[in-house]
Amino acid sequence: MTAKDSKHPLRGIRSPLLPAVLALFVLSVNAQVDETLTEQVELEPAPEAGAEGYHQPPSLDDIPEGPFGDSVRSGWEAFVNTRQHPKAKRFVGNKQNCGNCHLAGGLAANSAPMWGAWGIYPKYRGKNDHVNTMDERIRGCFTYSMNANSSEAGGPPEPDSQVLKDLQTFFFWSAQGAPIGKNLPGRGYAAVPEPQNGSSVSRGEEVYQNQCSICHGSDGSGKFADDGRQIFPPLWGAGAYNWGAGMHRINTAAAFIKYNMPLGKASPVEKEAVLTDQQAWDVAAYINSHERPQDPRWEGNKASTDEKWHTHQCLYNETVRGHTLGDGAG
């Protein structure tokens, strides 16, 4: 199947045709005005931690009883078990949970923690002259990292919906005591400088097969229990993040991998790594040299989509192992 097929707006629509087409029309108009859904913005680097270390989120044991605590707990559950959560699972169009890329359930420094994000939004971006809200940021993560357009709901949660409220109540709770409007140490992933000679997909393959495939599978499809629960997340293919997600940028993936993977060896909070900068870049390139669900901003062909949306470090529309990437998967 070509990318074009998979993006054709009428494909798969059965009767009653008219309401479906109308709904689709409304949806796509919405997507155009809601400009934050058009990009998963790259974060600015966070400052190094000083003597006082990182923000300490409260313990999950101390979530209070009552409606506020219930909302925190629901938000935390939606974050770590997105695919099972009764209110969140409808919006998951791949096989990911939020916590897969934000370790310790969104609480670990240098793993893009939610307490680091909380005080940053609403954030004004001059580039598109718009104030981005947390609501929009999360909807963006659903659209790209969770591939929401292929979900049961067909798109990210509605603005101000209950699942977004619960997620934000959890973020707010985790950020208690942290200053507002400051780029905190430990926010985002700790950047890894690009090695002098760039990255190599074939060297990355070696790193991957030696150090990553035991969990993520040599074909990148992850591992699942009999009941469908995720054990290890897929890194490419239909179950993975899509071509618009932040993780498909090589620099971003390298930064995540360096201090978070292999699981149990690297340690984000202690900022310990076992891979060299070169290995992190190489394996980041290798992972992102495979097909994954199509970029939801598909412009009709790979070249135009590339030109409009992929002017960063990624392999979209590049030819690797004899194949020009960007066909999509699933």
Partner 1 sequence: MHGRCGFTCGLFGFSLLILLMPTMGAANEAGKKLAQQGGEGVQACSSCHGAQGGGNAAAGWPRLAGLNADYMAQQLTAMADGTRSNPIMAPIASALSEQQRGDVAEYFASLKPPTMAPGGEVDQKTLHRGETLAQRGDWQQGIPACTSCHGLQGQGVGVAFPSIAGQPAMYLQNQIKAWQSGSRHNDPNGLMASVAKRLSDEDSQAVTAWFASLPAKPSNNDQ
Q: What DSSP string runs through 109-178?
A: TTS--HHHHHTT-SEEETTTTEEE-HHHHHHHHHHHTS-GGGSTTSSSPPTT-HHHHHHHHHHHHHTTTP
Is residue 186 involved in binding ligand HEC (CB under 6 A)?
A: no
Among 170, 241, 309, 316, binds ligand HEC (CB under 6 A): 241
> Binds 225, which of ligand HEC, partner 1, none (CB < 5 to 8 A, cut-off by type)?
partner 1
Total interface residues for ligand HEC by CB under 6 A: 50
> Binds 246, which of ligand HEC, partner 1, none (CB < 5 to 8 A, cut-off by type)?
ligand HEC
> Binds 141, which of ligand HEC, partner 1, none (CB < 5 to 8 A, cut-off by type)?
ligand HEC
What's the DSSP call for residue 67? H
Element (H, E) at 231: strand 230-232
Query: From the centroid of its chain, how far is CA 221?
Result: 17
With beta carbons less than 8 A apart as the criterion, state whether 221 and 306 touch.
no
**Part of the chain binding ligand HEC (CB under 6 A), chosen from 9-17, 64-72, 181-189, 321-329:** 181-189
Is residue 316 involved in binding ligand HEC (CB under 6 A)?
A: no
Among 13, 60, 131, 303, binds partner 1 (CB under 8 A): 60
221: Cβ contacts below 8 Å, ≥ 6 apart: 234, 236, 237, 239
With beta carbons less than 8 A apart as the criterion, state whether 170 and 144 touch.
no
For residues 3 and 12, what is the distance between their CA atoms, to the nearest angstrom? 14
> Binds 43, which of partner 1, ligand HEC, none (CB < 5 to 8 A, cut-off by type)?
ligand HEC
Query: From the centroid of its chain, how far is CA 295?
Result: 13
Is residue 314 involved in binding partner 1 (CB under 8 A)?
A: no
Site for ligand HEC in 16-45 (CB under 6 A): 42-43
The interface mask with ligand HEC, positions 53-92, x = CB under 6 A, is: -----------------------------x----------
Binding site for partner 1 (CB under 8 A): 60-61, 103-105, 107-108, 210-211, 214-215, 223-226, 229, 231, 262-265, 267-270, 272
